[in-house]
Amino acid sequence: AARRYVLCEVLSDDPRCRQCIEDRAVGLAVRDAIARVHGDFGLACCSISFTVKYLNAYTGTVLLRCRKDSYRLLCSALPFVRHLESRGQRYPCALNTLHVGGTIRTCQKFLIQYNRRQLLMLLQNCTNEEERQCIQKSLLSCSLTEEQSQSGDEEDDDGTE
């Protein structure tokens, strides 16, 4: 089955939100939004092979996987995610879609470019040399580390991006 990978970032003003950026909380918030926007049928369509493939709580980066034929349903529901829930607490947040790709690798490549651009913007706003060197170090560490995919997820690209 052809799949799509949706790369998002979690945006929140609440610093405590970071601690509940975990697979389960993100998955539930997304499913809840799909159900509110598209009802049971939409949720059923999206739930097939939907998973939180990767997340980085520190940067707020989330990679979602779904079937190719339901990625539009998924993407249209993402703006309706309003909060993440963890241990009975709700933390207001929003999901910003950065990229939709046919493979994890295209999303990785996009993310590296995106991070570089963000860091370059920070670099322009630096106030001192120490900050500047810190950010330049970060820029150098943005390179793609080639990882062999064990799960075979790279093989399901059907040629369209």
| Residue-wise pLDDT tens digits, 110-137 | 998 888 888 888 778 777 888 778 777 7
Return the H-helix or E-strand segment holding 59: none
Instruction: List Cα–Cα distances, 55 to 6, 32, 36, 78, 85, in angstroms.
Output: 12, 19, 24, 16, 16
The architecture (CATH level 2) of 3-102 comes to 2-Layer Sandwich (3.30)
Cβ(64)–Cβ(30) below 8 Å: yes
Poorest-confidence range of 44-48, 78-82, 129-133?
Answer: 129-133
Mean pLDDT computed over 84-105: 91
Cβ(161)–Cβ(101) below 8 Å: yes
Amino acid at 61: T
- In sequence order, which residues have a C-beta less than 8 Å from that of residue 160 and are 6 or more positions away? 102
pTM of the entire structure?
0.77
Q: Is the pLDDT of residue 51 over 50?
A: yes
Helix (H, G, I), strand (E, B), or coil: what is residue 146? coil
